[in-house]
Amino acid sequence: MPEGKIMKALSGFYYVKDQDSVIQCRGRGIFRKNKITPLVGDYVEYQADNDQEGYLLDIQERKNELVRPPIANVDQAVLVFSAVEPDFSTTLLDRFLVLVESHGIRPVICISKMDLLDEEQELSINLFAEDYRKIGYEVILTSAKWEESLSLLTPILDEYVTVFAGQSGVGKSSILNALRPDLELKTDAISSSLGRGKHTTRHVELIEIGQGFVADTPGFSALEFSELELEELSACFPEMDEISNLCKFRGCLHMNEPKCAVKSAVETEDIKPYRYKHYQQFYEEIKSRKPRY
């Protein structure tokens, strides 16, 4: 059976890319019966007599899936945060990092508007960037000079399926439109052709940029840890995960346990105290979410 990747889902049709062709497919009734919804990013088997009409036969196992946007098999998320206007927030960045890590997605941190900083602010952002690089994250610093910024971003997208996410008001859509100047025109054309008021769901599409694919809708609009368990939280902080096997107690949650390697590393600042503070905040948030009897 031929195989391909779903590039777009729209009004019950799935557009499957197989090498250089895109085949319009419908889902089989068995998917509805089993309550399976094919997602953009899914690798599928399909059957088609021509490129106008085909049927999805099977969906291969997903390595991850997101709810917003509804997309599967994401490799990386570019988290866009501005240095100023709005001000850079490590709390919000760490929240996004935990969400991305919990889905098994590689984060890339992009700090924008660096050209708007004075010397002192620039030093502060560079120190934060260094903290995150030491943890192992890729951090790129960009300015309003789009050509320069895009030359840093574009190579990162090659060979991957990427979503953009991050702080409101930092220009995620502007970055997408700068990466693909024809995009704005395309999204406008699609939304006006659907302007019948029936389809309130925004469709998601994977667009080709260089050798990679980018979701044309920013991700992670919901920032609650609704699916994350307490025991899983520290694994979403790589620098804690790395040394947690040195804690005295197996399954240490790095809160009140004695001889905790993570708390010792916070005291020596091998783990940044602000990162541990956010860990504590998120821990309490997840704990208070659980039902109390």
Question: What's the pLDDT at 104?
Answer: 95
pLDDT of residue 170 exceeding 60: yes
Question: Taken in order 184, 170, 164, 13, is the CA torsion positive or negative?
Answer: negative
Q: How many CB atoms neighbour CB 130 within 10 A?
A: 10
Q: What global pTM score does this model have?
A: 0.88
> Same structural domain for residues 255 and 159?
no
Domain identity same for 139 and 173? yes
Domain boundary pick from 180, 215, 250: 215
Same domain, 75 and 199: yes
- Asked whether residue 158 falls in the same domain as residue 259, the answer is no
Q: Are residues 276 and 209 in the same domain?
A: no
Sorted by sequence, the CB contacts under 8 Å of residue 184 that are 6+ apart come out as 177
Q: Is residue 37 part of a domain?
A: yes
Identify the residue with better confidence: 186 or 77. Answer: 77
CA distances from 248 to 25, 171, 233 (A): 55, 45, 18
Q: Are residues 133 and 199 in the same domain?
A: yes
For residue 221, tell me if it sits in a domain. no
Answer yes or no: do 75 and 211 share one domain.
yes
Report pLDDT digits (tens) over 97-151. Answer: 999 999 999 999 999 889 999 999 999 999 999 999 999 999 999 887 767 778 8
CA-to-CA distance for 112 and 214, rounded, in angstroms? 19
Work out how many domains the chain is built from and give that number. 3
Asked if residue 20 belongs to a domain, the reply is yes
Residue 223 and residue 215: Cα distance in Å, rounded?
A: 18
CATH value at residue 17: 2.40.50.140
Last residue in a domain, options 215, 238, 253: 215
Same domain, 172 and 276: no
> Domain range holding 237?
230-289
Q: Decide if pLDDT at 229 tops 60.
A: yes
Residue spans of alpha helices (H) in 108-237: 119-135, 146-157, 172-179, 183-193, 230-233
Q: Which residues are annotated as a binding site for GTP?
A: 112-115, 166-174
- Model pLDDT, residue 184: 60
Residues 188 and 78 in one domain: yes
pLDDT classification of 280: cutoffs 50, 70, 90: very high
Question: Of 72, 43, 67, which Cα lies nearest the Cα of 56?
Answer: 43
CATH number, domain of 159, equals: 3.40.50.300
Give binding residues as ranges: 112-115, 166-174, 247, 252, 254, 260
Instruction: Specify binding-site residues for Zn(2+).
Output: 247, 252, 254, 260
**pLDDT score of 16 more than 90:** yes
Same domain, 81 and 200: yes
Residue 194 has pLDDT above 60, yes or no: no
User: Which residue from 229, 255, 226 is spatially nearest to 240, judged by alpha carbons?
Assistant: 255
